[in-house]
């Protein structure tokens, strides 16, 4: 079972247990992307808290992350019934 590090708590976890967000070559973040740089986070608190991710994603991707990008991700996650806390 491959393992990945959560970008929030830095714990090593089974890849299958984590939410994956990919950044495509044109810089778009998506949980459904198939190519590009991947970052992972736990589907439980506090790692699924959106404001936490703004900083952690920015650090992991080495670029600023816009609130609008987080909102798009949030929509995707909601569609997948993955909980994403917003406060
Ligand atoms: Zn975590």
Residues 6+ apart with CB under 8 A from 84: 48, 49, 50, 73, 74, 77, 78
Asked if residue 87 is part of any domain, the answer here is: no
Q: Ligand 1 centroid vs 87 CA: distance in angstroms?
A: 16
Asked if residue 57 is part of any domain, the answer here is: yes
Q: Ligand 1 centroid vs 30 CA: distance in angstroms?
A: 18
Ion ligand 1 — residues with CB < 5 Å: 6, 8-9, 42, 47
Residues in the chain: 87
Asked if residue 63 is part of any domain, the answer here is: yes
pLDDT of 82 strictly over 80: no
- The domain spanning residue 11 has which CATH number? 3.30.1230.10
Asked if residue 29 is part of any domain, the answer here is: yes
Q: If you compute the radius of gyration of the chain from its CA atoms, what whole number of angstroms results?
A: 12
Q: What is the pTM of this model?
A: 0.82
What total of structural domains would you count in the chain? 1
Asked if residue 30 is part of any domain, the answer here is: yes
> Confidence band (pLDDT; 50, 70, 90) for 81?
low
- Tell me how far apart the 2 most distant CA atoms of the chain are, in Å: 34
Dist. CA 10–CA 70, nearest whole Å: 20
Asked if residue 71 is part of any domain, the answer here is: yes
Q: Ligand 1 centroid vs 12 CA: distance in angstroms?
A: 8
Element (H, E) at 14: strand 12-14
Asked if residue 49 is part of any domain, the answer here is: yes
- Other CB atoms within a 10 A radius of the CB of residue 80 amount to 13
pLDDT in tens, 49-77: 877 788 889 999 999 999 999 888 888 88
Asked if residue 36 is part of any domain, the answer here is: yes
Q: Ligand 1 centroid vs 24 CA: distance in angstroms?
A: 23
Enclosing domain of residue 56: 3-79
Contact in structure between 38 and 19 (CB atoms under 8 Å): no
pLDDT of 87 strictly over 60: no
pLDDT in tens, 16-39: 999 999 999 999 999 888 889 999
């Amino acid at each position: 079972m491959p393992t990945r590090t959560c970008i929030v708590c830095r714990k090593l976890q089974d890849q299958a247990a984590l939410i994956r967000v990919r950044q495509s070559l044109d810089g778009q973040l998506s949980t459904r992307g198939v190519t590009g740089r991947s970052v992972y986070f736990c589907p439980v608190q506090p790692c699924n808290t959106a404001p936490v991710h703004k900083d952690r994603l920015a650090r992991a991707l080495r670029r600023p992350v816009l609130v609008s990008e987080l909102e798009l991700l949030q929509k995707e996650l909601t569609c997948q019934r993955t909980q994403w806390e917003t406060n």
